[in-house]
Structure 1
Amino acid sequence: MALALVAILAATSGAITAGRRLLDAPIFVLRGPERAEALSCFERVDDQIMGGISQSALVPSYDGECASFLGVVRTDGGGFCGTRSRLLSKPLNLGGYSGIYLRVRGDGKRYKLNVRTSEEVGELVYQCAFLPPAEMATVRLPFTAFRLVKRSNPVPSPPPLDPHTIYQLGVVLSRFAFGEESSNDAFAAGPFRVDIEEIGAFRDELDFEAAIDEPGAPVARSAGPPLSAGLQLWPEGEEPRRRGGLRARLLRFVFRRVRGTLRQRVVARRSERASKLWALRKQGRKLSELRRAETAPTPAPDAEARRGS
């Protein structure tokens, strides 16, 4: 169902009609005087945690009107960049709402919204893909559109998302759609940028699928303070440890060691290649020629033998 919703998002010019009763309750306001405080609630999570070389940041936008999630994503060793709110020490209860909305402006790439419903810092999250429009607009993702994944792979027969215990929200750009065998057809390695004005919860008295608001669509705003006013974040470095026995702790220890080794190898390989390129460049060789030589197919051994005979 989620893949069908992605197609709806890509094709929908607007699904908010007159008479629809919508109520928005902001959680993170990433514009105006509230932006600095909201930005402090987020942390980045890129593929460097698994030996990749992608980099990203959530920063004030160039025009100063909102925040920009931007960076450079590479497919070497990973292929994803993400930003997420720090884990809440007390969950956010969104049981009275229909889903999550984002005020966003995109770059033609498809992103995913992550929702964590457990205090465990693990690999299980609920995801829903969305394609931000070219102009700033509100994208609405009902809770029913989210699916449970583990490392982007769908979990078989999962329970539905429980909106009563929201511990974390995040935005991810990944080369995978849902599962490593399913590629994101709106992904391209290199620079990316999506502008975000606001992330919040919405209530809709009508059941509907994911949609993008039309400009000027009538939407009521919650009269109370932003939901972020009641958020209780874990202090940095003090988030609860993952649960599990001795086997789980050993696996995490091995993973951290392997991750560190992979990072060192990537750094060493890039440094060695840069040194070689610089030495050859000083000899007057063009970098474009060197790159073509590196990517040229290697002749088969029997072909080389025939040439020498």
Structure 2
Amino acid sequence: MSKVRAIWQASLTATKRALSWNVDDMFPPSERFIYNFKSKEELKKWHLYSDSEYGGLSSAALEITDAGNEQSGGTGVFSGNLSLDVTDGTKWNISRSGFCGMRSKKFDGFIDLDPYDTIALKIRGDGRSYISTIYTENWVNSPGQMEDNSWQAFVSVPKHDWVVAKIPLAHYLPTWRGNVIEADIEMNPSRVVGMSFSVNAEGGVPGAQTGPGDFRLEIDWIKALRTQ
């Protein structure tokens, strides 16, 4: 009798686990961490780029704050200097300089953000506006067109104070090498392959600081939210 009871209990436990898994699939949590910036290990998931790769003179760094501790961790600091100048004699015929960025390394597969409608960023800045980019799997399956789709939105970051900026996924526009494109396409949030932040010396939202010079963006975390 005890053996029968044990088999029944094991079957019941397995059924509960299966039901729990299905419920999670049907009703995912209202928020999902995508990145945090609590340790140097987390920063290794990102790499830097700037106009210096094409003859420009801008520079960027990504570091962890010293304020972190073993309990709470630190925050990431994306900082550097934006320059409109170019190196003398450069072989690159660049049309503009004065940009820097930090891009995540590709996920091992895809991140499915289909259950969510908003990207939330806990950030502290310098009065400049930054560009938040989401990369999704390319819609063109061609050997000559292998770049990821990119979707961009401006985020204005006030000076000094921590804010949680919320950007609806619907506000991200399709872009091609930094320029908004006129295309009748929609983001596929179930096939996200990476993200980035970038900053330009020129352009941005009205009222934001612009021009060459130093920049500094402090990042605590990035989440996906379901607000509806």
TM above 0.5, yes or no, is yes
Runs (5+) with no aligned partner, structure 1: 1-21, 206-309
**Structure 1 residue 131 and structure 2 residue 156: aligned?**
yes
Opposite residue 222 of structure 2, the aligned amino acid is I
In structure 1, the partner of 2:226 is 203
Change (3 A) 1:147 1:60: same
In structure 1, the partner of 2:166 is 140
Change (3 A) 1:24 1:196: same
TM-score by length of 1: 0.53
State the structure with more CA Rg: 1
**Structure 1 residue 190 and structure 2 residue 213: aligned?**
yes
**Structure 1 residue 23 and structure 2 residue 23: aligned?**
no
In structure 1, the partner of 2:115 is 96
Paired residue total:
178
Contact 1:43/1:84 (<8 A) preserved: yes
TM-score by length of 2: 0.71
**Structure 1 residue 76 and structure 2 residue 58: aligned?**
no
- Counterpart CA distance in 1 for 2:210 and 2:164 is 21
Q: 1:48 aligns with which of 24, 49, 52?
A: 52
In structure 2, the partner of 1:66 is 75
In structure 2, the partner of 1:113 is 132
Tell me the SS of whatever aligns to 1:95: coil
Contact 2:82/2:215 (<8 A) preserved: yes
Task: State the shift of 1:49 in Å.
Answer: 2.1
Opposite residue 181 of structure 2, the aligned amino acid is V
Q: Which has the higher strand share?
A: 2
Within-5 A mapping of 1:263-302: none
- Counterpart CA distance in 2 for 1:193 and 1:106 is 6
**Structure 1 residue 122 and structure 2 residue 141: aligned?**
no
- Counterpart CA distance in 2 for 1:133 and 1:160 is 30
Tell me the SS of whatever aligns to 2:189: coil
RMSD (CA atoms): 2.4
% identity of equivalent residues: 24
Task: State the shift of 1:183 in Å.
Answer: 9.6
Contact 1:47/1:79 (<8 A) preserved: yes
Q: Which has the higher helix share?
A: 1
Change (3 A) 1:52 1:183: farther
